[in-house]
Amino acid sequence: MRSSSTSLRNCKRSRRSGDRGGRTQRYTCGIVWDRVDEGFFAIHEVMTMQSCYYSELDSPVGMLLLRGTGEALTGMYMQKQRYRPPLPDNYIRDDKLFRAAREQMTAYFAGELQSFDLPLAPEGTPFQKIVWRGLLDIPFGATESYGSLAKRIGHDGAARAVGLANGHNPIGIIIPCHRVIGADGSLTGYGGGIERKQWLLEHERRFGTQKTPLQAQLNW
């Protein structure tokens, strides 16, 4: 993927008519939500000015779905993952655009990479993005409790809210939500399944010689 900077606004386009009863359109990576007249909504999949792409990568934790704008990675999901959105028909498969992500993920699973260097553009609420940025500071091979993470990002006492944001992380592994565990050391939950979370943590303990945070390109 090209490493030029990007942000969520790059995959959105909007148009609003000034007439009463007109149409309000919001484009989000190929989806148009039309508001027509008195609040009735219709959803259409269209090709927008900002094309969106996907790729698939086989891995030890199953097939991974990568989604992006061509400039930044917007999602990486496991099979049967909770909150995994459906892939719109107008997404274009282009493995070449995801070459850097595919190569780095392959190296990660081989135990040869501990720090990712990729442009990311996850879509979420301001609070969710604060949590996801906090996840990037948890070193490879380490874990942190929900309560500790909440305190570190300036939301002491919000462990439950942090857990919910953690569960909605759209870019698994690279934004390492699997490294957050219960205060008692239990694995608690994981959108991709407890078995995968356990596999990832054991994999990182096995290869975790350097305790350095992941370095993703933060422009979100």
Q: What residues are labeled active site?
A: 177
Q: Where would I find the H helices in the chain?
A: 99-109, 126-135, 146-152, 159-167, 194-207
Does residue 65 sit in helix, strand or coil?
Answer: strand
| Nearest CA-CA partner of 193 in 62, 85, 66, 57 | 62
Does residue 196 sit in helix, strand or coil?
Answer: helix
Report d(CA 194, CA 40) in Å as an integer.
40
| Nearest CA-CA partner of 200 in 164, 165, 183, 176 | 176
| Residue 99 contacts residue 1 (beta carbons within 8 Å) | yes
Tokens of 36: 């027509």
36 secondary structure, DSSP code: E
Report d(CA 50, CA 1) in Å as an integer.
15
Q: Which long-range contacts (CB under 8 A, 24 or more apart) does 10-17 make?
A: 10/50, 10/69, 10/71, 10/72, 10/121, 11/50, 11/52, 11/69, 11/74, 11/121, 11/123, 12/50, 13/48, 13/49, 13/50
